[in-house]
């Protein structure tokens, strides 16, 4: 009988310590802002994404292993992009250089499996 009362007291004390401990932690874990210009900004807006036309596509094959594509060059319309990336067959995206058109992307792809060219561009 004494054992049950003692276990209940220990359980009650442990529960009380847990509640007080988590409550104190919640008050200690606060975030403060400096206000004024440090307050940050938030907002929402919308706009039309117009896209680009990719044309004049030329592939370069490796001179030692013509089964490998090493480079792709292409032009974009409109010719306003400042950042362009490309990939073949969902491979790794590579940054392209050049621009305005043509853009040149150095990559590596197997010609026998090449089925798609993806281009991502932004101005």
What residue ranges do the domains of the chain occupy? 2-31, 53-122
Give 15's DSSP letter: H
Task: Tell me the C-alpha distance between 64 and 70, whole Å.
Answer: 11
pLDDT tens profile 8-49:
777 666 665 666 555 555 555 555 555 555 566 666 776 777
What percent of the chain is predicted at pLDDT more than 90?
Answer: 33
Q: State whether the Cα torsion 32-37-39-40 is positive or negative.
A: negative
Determine the average pLDDT of the residues in 65-80. 91
**Cβ pair 122, 81 in contact under 8 A:** yes
Task: Tell me the C-alpha distance between 53 and 41, whole Å.
Answer: 35
Q: What's the whole-model pTM score?
A: 0.60
């Amino acid at each position: 009988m004494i054992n049950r009362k003692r276990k209940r007291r220990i359980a009650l004390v442990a529960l009380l310590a847990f509640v007080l401990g988590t409550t104190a932690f919640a008050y200690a874990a606060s975030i403060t802002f400096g206000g004024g210009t440090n307050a940050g900004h938030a907002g929402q807006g919308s706009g039309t994404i117009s896209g680009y036309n990719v044309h004049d596509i030329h592939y370069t094959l490796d001179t030692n292993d013509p089964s490998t594509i090493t480079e792709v060059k292409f032009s974009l319309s409109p010719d306003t992009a400042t950042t362009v990336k490309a990939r073949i067959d969902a491979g790794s995206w590579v940054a392209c250089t050049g621009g305005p058109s043509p853009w040149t992307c150095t990559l590596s792809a197997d010609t026998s499996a090449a089925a798609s060219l993806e281009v991502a561009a932004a101005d």
